[in-house]
Structure 1
Amino acid sequence: MQATTATTLREQYVSVAGFRLRVLTAGQGPTVLLLHGFVVSADDWIPTIQTLAAAGFQAIAPDALGFGASDKPGGAAYTLRRYADLNAGLLQSFGVERAMVVGHSMGGKHALATTILHPQRVERLVIADSEGFMQLPLFMRKGGALPFLGEALVSLSAFPFVVRMQLRAAFANPDRYITPELIARGTATLGNPEIRRTMVSLSRYYDANDLRGSGLWSRLAEVTQPTMIIWGAEDRLFPVRCAYEAKRMLPHARLEIIPNCGHFPMIEAADQFHRLLLEFLR
């Protein structure tokens, strides 16, 4: 049998509220729950998981319902409240009473919902380039509600040249990070019929996944846990003005803007992101 260490990355499947979730874990110590962004998976957090484990934390990173290798029930299953309940249930399944919660992009919105709806579970909060602080284009909010339009738009997004365009918008220095392998992975993900069904469902039931539409926007003032907002200064998906809107809604939060960085600070500015994260969590 191969020996394991505290920093060994482990993959397992956990049943929460009747849904099967893929979860990556590593480390021992205070727990950090890592919530990924739209379309991607917990794999985006692997360097962060390893960094946290080496620093004496237990990192838990699930594939969100509808993404990665977790269940994809479709329909009206995807709501901010359900994601919050699943995050709280996942912590309970690991025997964790309270955790520090880190959310990127869509995961930032899920982290906020978890903090509002299950405050007893959240000790500290970090949101990075978070969704929820700007209005998305109409076709993203309503495309799934119109016959054939949602599926047509989602199908278009899977073409390699469209994947390349989306990735170029995600990085301040795209030529350094965009590889043929990354484009191929993005094309395969967006070409997956189940992932596409998730995307259409999220559009069709957008209000239930929106901070404002779900009624959680007016409750952001209930977030009193120590909070840090991290943002890439060159984020073209959720521009840096969204960071200042997040700061306005979470006035006690610490705001850190990372220069020469796009939408994925844990990838494009990994050293600075991890330094800020560890400093804050400690």
Structure 2
Amino acid sequence: MTRKIVLLIIVLCGFQITKAQDNQLQWLDIELSNYQYPYQVSILPLHIQEQNLKMAYMDIKPENYNGKNIVLFHGKNFNGAYWKTTIEALSEKGFRVIVPDQIGFGKSSKPTNFHYTFQQLALNTKTLLDTLGVAKTAILGHSMGGMIASRFALMYPETTEKLILENPIGLEDWKLKVPYKPVEWWYKNELNSSYESIKKYQLVNYYDNKWKPEYDQWVNLLAGWTLNSDYKTIAWNAALTYDMIFTQPVVYEFKNISAPTLLIIGTRDRTALGKNLVPKEVRETMGLYAQLGKQTQKEIPNAQLVELENVGHMPHIERFNDFINVLIPFLTRP
């Protein structure tokens, strides 16, 4: 068999594998109307920035309600659905669990024009709580949700009974090391997303190159959108939120958080925005969660730090039992 024929077979096999992989993906509606969440989804109409928008949320109030509430803020590459096991465990303990999809994410609206700020997202969530009649609640944020949760606690200290930050991003100011890129740059990157690139990013950054089949669903949710003819709108919103994350640090205000705070930190995490834009020697100084967790604990008054060794960016997915066994005692403590 000649070398050219062998190369042709390899190329064709690769094409067929990619094609089969694409065929397994589910085409997803821009607001995930054809994707079922683990609990009933309700919609809060919002009129903000001169437009009518919809904020999707789950509100799970158990029969053995203990009078305590908790709001779960999702990360940038996720939506409320990935809190399923957390909701189940908290509900069993009697907590009312409220899980919004932020504007631009999940089943919520994807506006073509929107000025994203953490303050606006926090305000939207406060509007939801006011609508539901929830005056006090614990606030839990993962990844980008940690930045929103921090901003919420700063804006509404009277509402925030306790604050939990699970591997939050924004524990360092990337602007000090990473050159600024305009929204159009992030948009172009998003347009180039594929199943392969999304999975590679999560594999390397979230799971230390150790993949489990149950992680596939979180790749498929993002990759399924790339099959949608409205993907440009989804990509544009993603670009706008990247700009928000990069330009609106909360790290300088941690000292002003008054709520009792729990930091749950997987120390293997190396997540940092813009690592690919800096030299290797700079990159190696970014996203060092084993250091950032300790540093942040010192900044936030009345903060407790629990480090989970050999856990990455996703403790509630990667090592759920360790995560929940830390969370529930903190929530139930007077």
Q: TM-score range by the shorter chain?
A: 0.7 to 0.9
Is the Cα–Cα contact under 8 Å of residues 104 and 129 in structure 1 kept in the other structure?
Answer: yes
Q: What TM-score do the two structures reach when normalised by structure 1?
A: 0.85
Alignment of 1:118-157 (within 5 A): 118-136=156-174, 142-145=180-183, 148-156=184-192
Moved >4 Å (runs of 4+): 137-141, 177-182, 204-208
Q: 1:98 aligns with which of 99, 111, 136?
A: 136
Describe the shift of the 1:226–1:219 C-alpha distance in structure 2 as closer, same or farther (beyond 3 A): same
Residues of 2 paired with 1:141 and 1:256: CA distance? Answer: 32
Describe the shift of the 1:70–1:138 C-alpha distance in structure 2 as closer, same or farther (beyond 3 A): farther
Corresponding residue SS for 2:104: coil
- Displacement of 1:205 in angstroms is 4.8
For residue 193 of structure 1, what is the aligned residue in structure 2?
A: 232
Is the Cα–Cα contact under 8 Å of residues 32 and 59 in structure 1 kept in the other structure?
Answer: yes
1:23 aligns to 2:70 (yes or no) = no
The one-letter amino acid paired with 1:11 is: V
Gaps of 5+ in 1: 1-7, 212-216
Residues of 2 paired with 1:179 and 1:48: CA distance? Answer: 16
For residue 327 of structure 2, what is the aligned residue in structure 1?
A: 277
More moved, 53-62 vs 197-206: 197-206
Alignment of 1:51-200 (within 5 A): 51-136=89-174, 142-145=180-183, 148-156=184-192, 158-168=193-203, 169-172=205-208, 174-177=210-213, 180-189=216-225, 192-200=231-239
Once the two structures are aligned, what percentage of the paired residues are identical?
Answer: 22
- Displacement of 1:112 in angstroms is 0.6
The one-letter amino acid paired with 1:198 is: N
Residues of 2 paired with 1:239 and 1:132: CA distance? Answer: 12
Gaps of 5+ in 2: 1-37, 272-286
More moved, 266-275 vs 70-79: 70-79
For residue 235 of structure 1, what is the aligned residue in structure 2?
A: 269
Kindly provide the CA deviation profile for residues 5-55 of structure 1, in whole angstroms up to 9, marking residues without a partner as x: xxx932111124553111012133311000000131001111111111111
Is the Cα–Cα contact under 8 Å of residues 73 and 99 in structure 2 kept in the other structure?
Answer: yes
Instruction: Count matched residues.
Output: 267
More moved, 253-262 vs 11-20: 11-20
